[in-house]
Amino acid sequence: MVALSFGIVLGVAILTCLFMAWVLGANSNSPPFAPAIGANAISTMQAAFVIGLLAAAGAIMQGGSISETVGTGLIGGVTITPLAASAGLLTAATFMAIGIYTRYPVPAAFATTGAMVGVGLSLGGDPAFATYRRLGTFWLLVPFMSGGVAYVTATLLRRDDIPETVGVPLLAGIVSAILANVRLGVIPDPTASQGTVARYLSWRIGPEVALAGGVTITMVLVSLVFAVAGGLWVRRRMDVSVERGIRSFLLVLGGIVAFSSGGSQVGLATGPLEQLRVELGVPTLALLALGGVGILLGAWMGAPRLLQATSREYAQLGVRRSIAALVPGFVIAQLAIALGIPVSFNNIILSGVIGGGLAAGSAGVSRRKIGVTITFWLLTLGSSVVVGFALYRVFAVVGGG
């Protein structure tokens, strides 16, 4: 047994973080633009380029809360060392690689959470049961939230008494209103690390008249302005051509979801290094930038092939059902970021596809594949704990930790 120097172990941890971010960029950020490619609104290479930029931007601007949860909220009483972080990241990346090989999507959130719990227990840490209950409750609600929102959205788009020139701009307005309240690290806030456009303007304009839950009249007015602007933009596009207007909304929606995906996924790569970042005094932005670079490279280098495959599936869904699947993806991802909960985009999108399909009278997805996928997810969560636990023990013996 040879004790490895801190510098070598730190280098390995950084490389595994980059590798995990690369895998996330190549695989987890593709669904948002697949519908737009299937609808011929954008080419595959253009989509991969845009996905990389938007997901990296989302990672840097929104990834802090997820990174903190993964790095410090899953285990108590111990510090995640660089060697332990490497073991956790390699475990999660391996599970994702197995999912790619078997063509059953492995949720990165489940794999990473399980792996980090495993290495934390292997270090002698205490289980954070309160955090587990919070994560478990949210994960269990995701299929119902995503499927429910997709069902309502698809039903709205299918109603004969609501013209598409009304229904689609209405959805665009709702999405725009939510955008006004999205948390971003580049927006200052006197009470939080991430601010929103609505809250910032409320703070700057003043005086703030509170309504409930910290919401002010100015925040409501800003949200309404965003809603009207977004709805009018889509309506004007549809006045020229209904199909072009719908595709434009689909393209913008895909970009927003890709941005949200980067913000919700980067923490799965950077979270294991969170405690090390604090010890070394490295700014949060620097760690998120590292993850953002990995996601950017992964999207540019690995996403095109997956985009071509998934776009064919979305082409069969159609533009409207694709919109119905992406709307809950945006809403739930932003809710998860606000709560600091890592989520699986595969879980959200698949649930949205099923919900949108039910509105048309059929889920459009094999029941057998749904059952196998859910079983695969549960096995991923449980077995990643075991593998993470064992792999760190091996690393500790080999590396002299």
33, 47 Cβ separation under 8 angstroms: yes
Length, in residues, of the chain:
401
How far is the C-alpha of 379 from the C-alpha of 333, rounded, in Å? 23
Mean pLDDT of the chain: 84
Residues in CB range of 212: below 8 A, 6 or more apart: none
**Lowest mean pLDDT: which of 6-15, 267-276, 338-347, 366-375?**
366-375
- The rounded Cα 82 to chain-centroid distance in angstroms is 25
Which pLDDT tens digit goes with each residue over 19-42? 889 888 887 777 777 777 776 778
Q: Which long-range contacts (CB under 8 A, 24 or more apart) does 378-382 make?
A: 380/95, 380/99, 380/106, 380/107, 380/110, 380/111, 380/114, 381/110, 381/111, 381/113, 381/114, 382/114
- Residue 60 tokens read as 């840097």
Return the axis-axis angle of helices 82-102 and 367-399, rounded to nearest 10°.
Answer: 150
CA dihedral 105, 292, 147, 371 (to 10 degrees): 10
Helices first, then strands: H and E counts in the chain = 16, 4
Side chain identity at residue 158, one-letter code: R
Mean pLDDT of 365-374: 68
Which pLDDT tens digit goes with each residue over 177-213? 999 999 888 888 777 777 888 888 888 887 677 777 6
Q: Is 74 helix (H, G, I), strand (E, B) or coil?
A: coil
How far is the C-alpha of 181 from the C-alpha of 274, rounded, in Å? 26
- Residue 202 tokens read as 């409320």
Which pLDDT tens digit goes with each residue over 133-164? 999 999 989 888 988 888 888 888 888 788 88
Quick one: what percent of the chain has pLDDT higher than 90? Answer: 28
- Quick check: 344 pLDDT over 90? no
Mean pLDDT of 367-381: 76
Report domain extents, the chain.
6-399
- Quick check: 2 pLDDT over 50? no
Bridge partner residues of 76 (DSSP): 126
Residue 211 phi, psi (nearest 5)? -105, -70
68: number of Cβ within 10 Å: 20
Please, where are the H alpha helices in 39-128? 44-62, 64-72, 82-102, 108-122
| Stronger pLDDT, 331 or 325, i.e. the higher one | 331
How far is the C-alpha of 134 from the C-alpha of 306, rounded, in Å? 32
